[in-house]
């Protein structure tokens, strides 16, 4: 008898979980030449209060934390929800090697790691990356399915965000990721804002999921959070 298929949840956590309304503006690459990703999101123990503005738990709040994990790397987690495994590559880029999905008790592993933030904010390069993605059961470690991913990250832009504490100048990194597995096809559009003063201040994630096992059923989900109580 064929084994029942588990519902595959989209990668709804491919970034620090933060969001706010924003207005983008052009800026000089020279102004950003010395601004590195690791300055905007230092890999050290930290926490940020987050307001959930739309999506699951909208109107509530949660703590975004960053902490070291066994075996190397850093775990970024929003409350008791999804977590990212982050590390800094040799060229200074911030990358995601794994994502833990609490809702489905699953873990996604990317090979090579997916790009989160370019090494410097002065980059004029459009990054493109592709590779394999494997899905495991978090508890047993059993491999459930696999597939491919492709992503595109255009050059960062400078943006002003409206936060509870006032306006904040930050860099915005856009990220488009397409994931294909036996169970589902997932299109993700992410906007991530990082400031020198506050760290992560903004995230907007739109996910479009087409489930092959359910006659091509398509769902769209938008998740937003912002820095502040």
Q: What pLDDT is stored for residue 220 in this prediction?
A: 76
Instruction: Give the β-pairing of 61-68 and 46-54.
Output: antiparallel
* Count helices and strands in the chain by DSSP H and E runs: 1, 14
Answer yes or no: is 6 within a domain.
no
Answer yes or no: is 101 within a domain.
yes
Q: List the one residue out of 119, 73, 78, 129 whose CA is nearest residue 101.
A: 78
Answer yes or no: is 13 within a domain.
no
Q: Which residues of the chain have pLDDT under 70?
A: 1-33, 212-217, 222, 224-225, 228-229
Answer yes or no: is 15 within a domain.
no
The separation between CA 75 and the C-alpha centre of its own chain, rounded to angstroms, equals 12
What's the total number of domains in the chain?
A: 1
C-beta separation of 168 from 198 below 8 A:
yes
Residue 189's domain comprises: 22-227
Answer yes or no: is 119 within a domain.
yes
Answer yes or no: is 7 within a domain.
no
Q: What pLDDT is stored for residue 9 in this prediction?
A: 43
Answer yes or no: is 68 within a domain.
yes
Q: What pLDDT is stored for residue 213 in this prediction?
A: 56
Provide the token pair at 76: 């970024």
Q: What pLDDT is stored for residue 33 in this prediction?
A: 56
Question: Which of the 8 DSSP states describes residue 212?
Answer: G
Q: What pLDDT is stored for residue 217 in this prediction?
A: 65
Q: What is the pTM of this model?
A: 0.77
Answer yes or no: is 1 within a domain.
no
**32 three-class SS:** helix
Q: What pLDDT is stored for residue 229 in this prediction?
A: 58
Q: What pLDDT is stored for residue 10 in this prediction?
A: 42
Burial class (CB in 10 A: 0-12, 13-18, 19+), 204: buried
Provide the token pair at 195: 């400031």
Residue 215 sits in a domain whose CATH number is: 2.40.360
């Amino acid at each position: 008898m064929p084994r029942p298929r588990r519902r595959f949840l989209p990668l709804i956590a491919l970034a620090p979980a933060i969001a706010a309304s924003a207005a983008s503006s052009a800026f000089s690459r020279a102004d950003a030449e010395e601004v590195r990703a690791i300055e905007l999101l230092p890999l050290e123990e930290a926490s940020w209060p987050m307001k959930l503005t739309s999506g699951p738990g909208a109107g509530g709040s949660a703590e975004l934390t960053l902490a070291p994990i066994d075996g190397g790397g850093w775990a970024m987690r929003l409350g008791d929800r999804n977590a990212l495994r982050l590390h800094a590559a040799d060229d200074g880029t911030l990358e995601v090697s794994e994502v833990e999905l609490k809702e489905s008790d699953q873990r996604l592993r990317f090979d090579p790691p997916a790009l989160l933030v370019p090494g410097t904010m002065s980059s004029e390069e459009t990054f493109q990356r592709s590779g394999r993605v494997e899905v495991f059961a978090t508890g047993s470690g059993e491999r459930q399915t696999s597939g491919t991913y492709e992503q595109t990250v255009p050059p960062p832009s400078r943006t002003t965000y409206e936060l509870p504490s006032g306006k904040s100048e930050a860099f915005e990194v856009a990220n488009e990721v397409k994931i294909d597995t036996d169970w589902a096809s997932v299109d993700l559009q992410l906007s991530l804002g990082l400031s020198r003063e506050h760290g992560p201040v903004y995230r907007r994630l739109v996910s479009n999921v087409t489930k092959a096992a359910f006659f091509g059923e398509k769902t769209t989900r938008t998740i937003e959070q912002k820095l502040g109580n």
